[in-house]
């Protein structure tokens, strides 16, 4: 079987990339598609289906930091959160070379930064083929990086550097949502400066991306009040968790039916300590530059302990995407780049004080949640969700929590997805919301009834995506 050099990491397992590459080999699909740079139309323009290989031109895709599309127009800061500032149709490709047969657009919209100031960011909107969608899902890709070119809006386009390979693989999972007939918003929730780990702000970006989606006429949604759900795994779960927490106060107008999170990141210090020195240790210098940008207090507390080599490491890794960093820095011990061991630095009162607001749990969501986590997760300790689920429940939340006894972080990303998708579909299709909280430890989420029932359609949607078929309800093969 074809294998990538990276085997595990915080945002998404490289097993995703290996799985998709193997499927592509089996289907004879390893002819790379070239890129397409579409002109910017008015926001009402419908994008052509992006899946046909003939639709892909040879023009290179311009990275966000050099693309004028990402720069907001004059007067944008005075607009309301969720306002559409600019849009254009785009083509999408899994792993950078497998065209996806969907209609897709990029939308620049106004949102809010962690400091409360206006921010503009981009979401990628995807419309299923067939009837107009009646619901929308915001899917958070695990970006886990600090460079602008790692943003999903760029990573998901054809011909983009494989340093984004794992994020690009998540597009096939997104296709399973589109195959259910739901529209999808894929926000650049780290914002234009790649501020990984910022408090609150990812939630603002997700929620304002949903607002923009509901206003974007080509997507075909019913408008304000459209049923919405949120889904993310690992790095994407942290962002999704912020959206769940800030929604009651920031966006009560959104008809949020449910939030699904897997490999649930709730405490960044726990993850840093666990990942350090392991195969996925490159995630630390990948994400830390954005984290320090996002939190000046944390930067002030940590910078004095960075050696010159440590500063150079963060500068280099901060300009690269997660797959490259995990490949470049396996088994890295970040303590070797600090004047004190990592555990000592994390225990400093100033560091603990700065990091406390970066952790989830400060307030409780008021929408049902579906949480799934591997008991033996080697990257994101289960102690995090084991603590936050009862804390949320004590404040009146409704949470369905599955603890998978056999999976690790990598495998649960795939094995848990069918059950999560089934739960999301039930919420958006008007199913009775769950009441109260349940915590269940199972041998494998693949064997629970929701996962088993959803598996055939889940796998069929993935195959259709790999075979360049139109993606939507009733249009599989």
Backbone angles phi, psi at 57, to 5 degrees: -90, -175
Kind plus residue range of the DSSP H or E element containing 317: helix 308-317
The pLDDT, as a whole number, for residue 12 is: 42
Is 50 exceeded by the pLDDT of residue 30?
A: no
Q: Is 420 left (phi over 0), alpha (psi -120 to 50) or beta?
A: alpha
Is 50 exceeded by the pLDDT of residue 315?
A: yes
For the residues 224-244, what does the mean pLDDT come to?
97
Instruction: Please give the full DSSP string across 337-387, using - where no structure is assigned.
Output: GBSS-HHHHHTSHHHHHHHGGGSS-SS--SS-EEEEEETT-SSS-THHHHH
Q: Which of 19-33, 160-174, 235-249 is modeled with the greatest confidence?
A: 235-249
For the residues 73-81, what does the mean pLDDT come to?
98
The pLDDT, as a whole number, for residue 95 is: 80
The pLDDT, as a whole number, for residue 75 is: 97
For the residues 383-410, what does the mean pLDDT come to?
95
**Do the beta carbons of residue 208 and residue 246 sit within 8 Å?**
no
Share of the chain above pLDDT 90, in %: 74
The pLDDT, as a whole number, for residue 351 is: 95
Supply the residues annotated as catalytic. 234, 377, 409
Residue 230 CA to residue 210 CA, distance in Å, equals 10
Which residues, 6+ apart, have CB-to-CB distance to 2 below 8 Å? 18, 21, 22, 25
**Do the beta carbons of residue 475 and residue 105 sit within 8 Å?**
no
The pLDDT, as a whole number, for residue 393 is: 95
The pLDDT, as a whole number, for residue 476 is: 56
Q: Please, how many CA atoms are within 13 Å of residue 453, restricted to the half-sphere of its CB? A: 10
Query: Tell me, what DSSP letter sits at residue 467?
Result: T
The pLDDT, as a whole number, for residue 96 is: 81
For the residues 6-22, what does the mean pLDDT come to?
39
Which candidate, 376, 381, 377, 424, places its Cα nearest to that of 400? Answer: 424
Token code pair at residue 263: 């490999």
Lowest mean pLDDT among 184-193, 250-259, 358-367, 431-440: 431-440
Residue 187 CA to residue 228 CA, distance in Å, equals 14
Token code pair at residue 278: 């392991």
Share of the chain above pLDDT 70, in %: 86
* pLDDT tens string 46-68: 344 444 443 444 468 999 999 99
Residue 371 CA to residue 365 CA, distance in Å, equals 13
The pLDDT, as a whole number, for residue 5 is: 34
Q: In the 3-class helix/strand/coil scheme, how is 126-191 assigned residue by residue?
A: EECCCCCCCCEEEEECCCCCCCHHHCHHHHCCCCCCHHHHHHHHHHHHHHHHHHCCCEEEEECCCC
For the residues 377-381, what does the mean pLDDT come to?
95
N residues, the chain: 477
Buried b (16+ CB within 10 A) or exposed e, 280-296: bbbbbbbbbbbbbbbbe
Backbone angles phi, psi at 357, to 5 degrees: -70, -10
Average pLDDT over the chain, rounded to whole?
87
Is 60 exceeded by the pLDDT of residue 21?
A: no
Decide: helix, strand or coil at residue 118: strand
On the 0-12 / 13-18 / 19+ scale of CB atoms within 10 A, 335 is middle
Is 60 exceeded by the pLDDT of residue 45?
A: no
Lowest mean pLDDT among 48-52, 81-85, 94-98, 287-291: 48-52
So what CATH class is 268-357? mainly alpha
Query: Tell me, what DSSP letter sits at residue 239?
Result: H
Is 70 exceeded by the pLDDT of residue 23?
A: no
Work out the pLDDT band at 97, boundaries 50, 70, 90.
confident
Residue carrying structure tokens 């991306």 = 209
Residue 163 CA to residue 322 CA, distance in Å, equals 7
Query: Tell me, what DSSP letter sits at residue 49?
Result: B
Hey, where are the domains in the chain? 14-267+359-466, 268-357
Residue 20 CA to residue 463 CA, distance in Å, equals 10
Query: Tell me, what DSSP letter sits at residue 370?
Result: E
* pLDDT tens string 268-301: 999 999 999 999 999 999 999 999 998 889 999 9
Domain 14-267+359-466, classified CATH 3.30.365.10, yes or no: no
Residue 9 CA to residue 457 CA, distance in Å, equals 27
Work out the pLDDT band at 431, boundaries 50, 70, 90.
confident
Residue 124 CA to residue 143 CA, distance in Å, equals 14
Decide: helix, strand or coil at residue 267: coil
Which candidate, 364, 381, 461, 377, places its Cα nearest to that of 421? Answer: 461
Partners of 187 in beta bridges:
123
Residue 242 CA to residue 359 CA, distance in Å, equals 9
Work out the pLDDT band at 160, boundaries 50, 70, 90.
confident
Instruction: Classify strands 93-94 and 183-187 as parallel, antiparallel or unpaired.
Output: unpaired
The pLDDT, as a whole number, for residue 94 is: 85
The pLDDT, as a whole number, for residue 32 is: 28
Q: How far is CA 26 from the centre of its chain?
A: 28
Residue 283 CA to residue 292 CA, distance in Å, equals 14
The pLDDT, as a whole number, for residue 31 is: 28
**Do the beta carbons of residue 9 and residue 322 sit within 8 Å?**
yes
> To the nearest 10°, the Cα dihedral for 139, 145, 151, 157?
-90
The pLDDT, as a whole number, for residue 402 is: 98
Is 80 exceeded by the pLDDT of residue 11?
A: no
């Amino acid at each position: 079987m074809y294998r990538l050099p990276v085997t595990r990491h915080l945002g998404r397992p490289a097993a995703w990339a290996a799985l998709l590459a193997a499927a592509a080999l089996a289907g004879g699909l390893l002819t790379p598609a070239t890129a397409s740079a579409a002109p910017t139309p008015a926001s009402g323009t419908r994008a052509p289906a992006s899946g046909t290989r003939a639709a892909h031109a040879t023009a290179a895709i311009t990275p966000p930091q050099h693309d004028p599309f990402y720069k907001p127009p004059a007067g944008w800061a005075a607009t309301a959160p969720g306002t559409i500032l600019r849009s254009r149709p785009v083509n999408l490709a899994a792993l950078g070379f497998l065209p996806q047969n969907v209609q897709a657009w990029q939308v620049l919209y106004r949102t809010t930064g962690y400091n409360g100031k206006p921010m503009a960011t981009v979401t990628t909107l995807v419309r299923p083929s067939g009837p107009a969608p009646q619901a929308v899902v915001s899917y958070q890709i695990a970006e886990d990086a600090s460079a602008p070119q790692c943003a999903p809006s760029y990573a998901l386009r054809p011909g983009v550097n494989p340093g984004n390979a794992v994020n690009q693989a998540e597009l096939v999972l997104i296709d399973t949502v589109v195959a259910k007939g739901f529209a999808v918003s894929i926000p650049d929730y780290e914002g234009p400066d790649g501020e990984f780990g910022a408090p609150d702000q990812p939630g603002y970006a997700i929620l304002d991306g949903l607002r923009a989606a509901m206003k974007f006429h080509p997507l075909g949604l019913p408008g304000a009040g459209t049923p919405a759900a949120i889904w993310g795994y690992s790095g994407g779960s942290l962002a999704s968790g912020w959206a769940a927490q800030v929604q009651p106060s920031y966006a009560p107008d959104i008809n949020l039916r449910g939030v699904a999170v897997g490999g649930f990141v709730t405490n960044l210090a726990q993850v840093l300590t666990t990942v350090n020195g392991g195969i996925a240790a490159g995630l630390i210098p990948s994400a830390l530059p954005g984290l320090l940008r996002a939190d000046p207090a944390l930067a002030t507390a940590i910078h004095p302990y960075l050696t010159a080599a440590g500063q150079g490491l963060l500068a280099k890794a901060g300009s690269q995407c997660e797959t490259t960093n995990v490949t470049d820095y396996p088994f890295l011990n970040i303590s070797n780049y600090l004047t004190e061991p990592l555990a000592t630095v994390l225990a400093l009162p100033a560091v603990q004080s700065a990091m406390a607001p970066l952790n989830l749990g400060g307030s409780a969501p008021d929408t049902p949640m579906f949480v799934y986590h591997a008991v033996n997760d080697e990257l994101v300790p289960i102690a995090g969700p084991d603590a936050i689920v009862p804390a949320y429940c004590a404040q009146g939340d409704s949470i369905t929590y599955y603890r998978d006894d056999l999976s690790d972080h990598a495998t649960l990303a795939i094995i848990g997805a069918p059950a999560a998708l089934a739960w999301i579909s039930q919420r958006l299709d008007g199913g009775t919301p769950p009441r109260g909280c349940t915590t269940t430890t199972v041998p494998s989420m693949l064997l629970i009834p929701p996962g088993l029932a959803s598996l055939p359609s889940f796998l069929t949607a993935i195959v259709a995506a790999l075979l360049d078929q139109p993606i939507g309800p009733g249009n599989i093969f």
